[in-house]
Amino acid sequence: MPKVVLVTGCSAGGIGFALSERFAECGCKVYATARNVDKMQGFKGSNIETLALDVNDDDAVQSVVQRILDVEGKIDVVVNNAGAICIGALLDIPLEKVKEAFDTNAFAALRVAKAVMPPMVKRRSGVIVNVGSIVGDIPTPWNGIYSASKAALHSLTEVLMMEAKPFNVSVMLVVPGAVRSNIANNSNSSFRLPPDSLYGAFLHNMIDRMNVSQGAHSMPTEVFVRKVVANALKEKPPAYITLGGNAKLFSFLKWLPRAFVLWIMWRRYSRAA
């Protein structure tokens, strides 16, 4: 029987969309989800079904998971890919937006895990893949809320990894560096510097930070998804993989004194215009 895969955050042009297509190419039955179904147009292949899902809604998550279980009888792989960037200085970002970022980037993965773990435990089989970020390990200025929410996701994932072991359920943390997607375009359309901001002189740095992941060093999406899917479909998936632009650099930086690393990050993202 083909593996049944649920992927969140699958709007066209994003990583989730490409992951869904790659899982389908590998013979899986894929349920691709996003808040707005109309933004998931253009999938190739007949074994991808699209469903509306707001990962910040408890009832919606339970309903979608149950719908898949009713049809397929199982869910083999879940990819918690849905995410929301949150560019700006910490002091400029309204707390409501901070809470929303944490809900989407961290708590949603736990919400989905709560829904899919019981049937996985019953079958003593399953894989949960959480997509973090290299800035969850080392934060950067002007993207602090995103960094903090991904750090929370990393910690939640590592604990779930340990607590799922008694039930033969694998948990894999994917830590991407720069990967080409539409994430910067989405941010550019919504980013505004508050008129009373203390950081007006750093606007150009914020814009630079917003677009850095889509530069020439970014990993092509198709390369990224091939590696992620290949690992997720292994009999024993790895607990941790990191790949993409700057991934090796950030892995190295984790071994250096923390204060020195933060100084490097500040120097990189606070250059004068």
For residues 47 and 30, the answer to whether their CB atoms sit within 8 Å is: yes
Which tokens in the block code for residue 147? Answer: 């960094």
Which tokens in the block code for residue 154? Answer: 């990393």
Sheet containing strand 77-80, strands side by side: 48-52, 29-34, 4-7, 77-80, 127-131, 170-176, 240-243
Which single residue is written with the structure tokens 């400029």?
92
Long-range contacts of 116-119 (CB under 8 A, 24+ apart): 116/6, 116/65, 116/75, 116/78, 117/164, 117/167, 117/169, 119/69, 119/74, 119/75
Question: If you ran DSSP here, which 8-state letter would residue 12 be given?
Answer: T
For residue 4, give the 3-state DSSP assignment: strand
- Angle subtended by helix axes 108-123 and 58-72, to nearest 10: 30
For residues 179 and 17, the answer to whether their CB atoms sit within 8 Å is: no
- Give yes or no: 240 in active site: no
Helix ranges restricted to H, the chain: 15-25, 58-72, 95-102, 108-123, 144-164, 183-190, 203-211, 221-232, 247-253, 258-268
- Give yes or no: 146 in active site: yes
Active-site choice (3, 29, 31, 146): 146
Closest CA to 144 of 134, 156, 155, 136: 136
Active-site choice (150, 234, 248, 269): 150
Report, as residue numbers or ranges, the catalytic residues. 146, 150
